[in-house]
Structure 1
Amino acid sequence: MTYDEHVVLVDGEGNPIGTAPKSTVHGVETPLHLAFSSYVFDRQARVLLSRRADHKITWPGEWTNSCCGHPLPGEALESAVTRRLDFELGLHVDSIDLVLPDFSYKAVMDNGIMEHELCPVYRVIVSADAVPNAEEVGAIRWVPWKEFADEVLSGEMPISPWAREQVPLLVALGPDPLTWPSADRANLPPAAR
């Protein structure tokens, strides 16, 4: 990652309205911007969880879904997911599917720093183990999906605020994450199409 990477700013309907340096968009007045979340699974339907590196600006040291990030201006979301999975976790993707095209959230840390993202969610299937990049990821663990989902839904598992909101929506897609239906790309926000 370089500090002059730009993110895509969006309006409330998901239309692109400009770009801004990534280093400037996470603060106490974070503008709505385009991002993604991904949930990586192996062939046994275990989900890969990652603990955010301790020096991250937002939710440092927190456990979360496999990988999140921001597409560069003009970059397809699927390409951004693939790029970040390679960079953060050394993973090569077997398959990638859009599952929640219009997810968005706003979350504020105790210190006032905010995430405010239009954040489509992807299911990714891999066959190799992850090799975490310590600059991005503090730790990883593979957990059976049902165990993870049950613990998030019960409040037992501390998890990032975006994952806490995403998991019930993913559970509603069915008990087996490997057979979740793919969403229609036409339902992505305009900035992501």
Structure 2
Amino acid sequence: MPTTPATAAHTSSNGVQPSGVEPSIMLELVDEDGRTIGTAEKLSAHLAPGRLHRAFSVFLFDESGRLLLQRRALGKYHSPGVWSNTCCGHPYPGEAPFAAAARRTHEELGVSPSLMAEAGTVRYNHPDPASGLVEQEFNHLFVGMVQGPLRPDPEEIEDTAFVTAAELTERHASAPFSAWFMTVLDAARPAIKELTGPAGGW
């Protein structure tokens, strides 16, 4: 059963909570095999050198096989203003990754994914040079379709774009992307190709 976030807010070492930090969000710490070993507050889990925790990444496509990207809001404390996959985040302790991915996609984009399916897992360690935070994540991947108009939450998302594989290559060469984007995309490619078909170019 999902648990609710704890109630105590986190502050940084100088006693000031960074702008854009959601207070009291708890993450699930895991071992190298993805087994739960405890919990930690969200920001503390990302402070260098980082603590390995459970995460998810979602890749949604329209009926033309274009990938929905989001540009992270400028007010976010971690990787603000960069492009990334459709949605990413962390399950609450005890929450199933699939349920968390569907929940968070709706919270951020105002739509519920359809035909969403598991696409494996990937473990990585990606420092964010701008903030000094570290992504030590055991990431559950999901692919699916998006239908209906988007209603992005401006506190989470600065912009959105649907891109073909070729357009993504061009955008990635010219615009900043999240440190983890290519890692999760490459890990999800087999499932993406199965979803979009060979004509999609993914």
- Bin for the TM-score computed over the shorter chain: 0.7 to 0.9
> Does residue 52 of the first structure (1) align with residue 72 of the second (2)?
yes
Give the alignment partner of residue 178 of structure 2, picking from 160, 184, 187: 160
Q: Is the 8 A contact 2:85 2:181 kept in 1?
A: yes
Which deviates more, 83-92 or 18-27? Answer: 18-27
Deviation of the 1:25 alpha carbon: 1.8
User: Mean alpha-carbon deviation: is it higher for 113-122 or for 139-148?
Assistant: 139-148
Q: After the TM superposition, which residues 142-161 of structure 1 pair with which residues of structure 2 at under 5 Å, given as runs?
A: 142-148=162-168, 150-151=169-170, 155-156=173-174, 158-161=176-179
Q: Is 1:87 equivalent to 2:107 in the alignment? A: yes
Partner of 1:103: 122
Please state whether the residue corresponding to 1:121 is helix, strand or coil: strand
Q: Quote the Cα distance in structure 1 between the aligned partners of 2:96 and 2:192.
A: 27
| 77-86 or 25-34, which deviates more | 25-34
List runs of 5+ in structure 2 lacking aligned partners: 6-21
Q: Deviations over 1:83-110 (max 9, x none)?
A: 10111010112221111x2211111122
TM-score normalised per structure 2: 0.78
- Write the deviation string for residues 129-167 of structure 1: whole angstroms up to 9, x where unpaired: 21110111111111124432x447x84553212111233
Equivalents in 2 of 1:136, 1:174: separation in Å?
A: 25
Identity of aligned residues (%): 32
Tell me which residue corresponds to 1:114: 134
Larger Rg: 2
CA contact (8 A) 1:28 1:112 kept: yes
Counterpart amino acid of residue 184 in structure 2: Q
Q: Is the 8 A contact 2:143 2:192 kept in 1?
A: no
- Which structure would you say has the larger RCO, counting Cα contacts within 8 Å and 6 or more residues apart? 1
Bigger Cα displacement from structure 2, 154-163 vs 35-44: 154-163
Runs of 4+ aligned structure 1 residues displaced above 6 Å come to none
Q: Which amino acid aligns with 1:158?
A: P
The normalised TM-score by structure 1 is 0.81
The equivalent residue for 2:17 is: none
The Cα offsets for residues 33-83 of structure 1, whole Å up to 9 and x where unpaired, read as 000000111111111100111122221111000100101111111110111
Residue aligning to 2:13: none
**Which of 126, 141, 144 is the equivalent residue of 2:161?**
141
Match of 1:169 among 171, 187, 202: 187
What is the CA deviation profile of residues 147-188 of structure 1, one whole-angstrom value per residue up to 9, with x for unaligned ones?
Answer: 32x447x845532121112333344557564249xxxxxxxx
2:51 aligned residue: 31
Partner Cα distance (1:96, 1:114) in 2:
28
- CA distance in 2 between partners of 1:31 and 1:163 (Å): 19
Q: For 2:135, what is the secondary structure of its paired residue? A: strand
| 2:82 counterpart residue number | 62
Q: Name the residue aligned to 2:24.
A: 4
Say which is worse superposed, 79-88 or 123-132, in terms of deviation.
123-132
The 8 Å contact of residues 58 and 115 in structure 1, kept in 2 or not, is answered as: no
CA shift in 2, pair 1:21/1:147, >3 Å: same
Task: Quote the RMSD (CA, aligned, Å).
Answer: 2.3
Unaligned stretches of 5+ in structure 1? 181-193
